[in-house]
Amino acid sequence: MYGRTLRQLRESKGRGQAEVARNVGISPAQLARLEANQRGLYVEDFVRIAEALGEKPGNLLPNDIGDIGHLKPLIDRLVAVKPEFLARVSMIIEKIVLLTEDVTVATRLVPQKQSARPARKSQPAAPPKGRRK
């Protein structure tokens, strides 16, 4: 999904794959696979590529990203994270995703509460046994 955006941005800036890859710390082959959507894009790669291209990471996201659009400013803030911590940030995000998946699975596995049983028709109380008049 992001590969085409990365390639278009890189080409619009007149930058070659080898140069950008070198600045990012990945091989040109890895960048080529990213641009061809043949490899997943990790947070640390995403941030480093944005920096290498002189862009904020949020600018690499399409405008129609739906429910996560509000995360663009947060993604832009990742530029301020020291590179040595980006792997940790990526791991934390992955754990959050896994936790939300676990919650989703758990809610599917837990039986739904059944609606309240219909009220029984009240019957008149039986007369007390024992004494007769």
Q: What is the pTM of this model?
A: 0.49
| Rounded Cα gap, residues 105 and 9, in angstroms | 38
By the 10 Å C-beta count (0-12 exposed, 13-18 middle, 19+ buried), 111 is classed as exposed
| Rounded Cα gap, residues 73 and 82, in angstroms | 17
- Tens of pLDDT, residue by residue over 66-107, are 566 667 677 777 778 888 888 888 888 888 878 877 666 656
- Tens of pLDDT, residue by residue over 14-30, are 999 999 999 999 999 99
CATH of domain 3-65+76-108: 1.10.260.40
**Mean residue pLDDT across the chain:** 75
Contact, 44 vs 87, CB < 8 A? yes
Residue 24: φ, ψ to 5°: -85, -25
- pLDDT, average across residues 26-54: 86
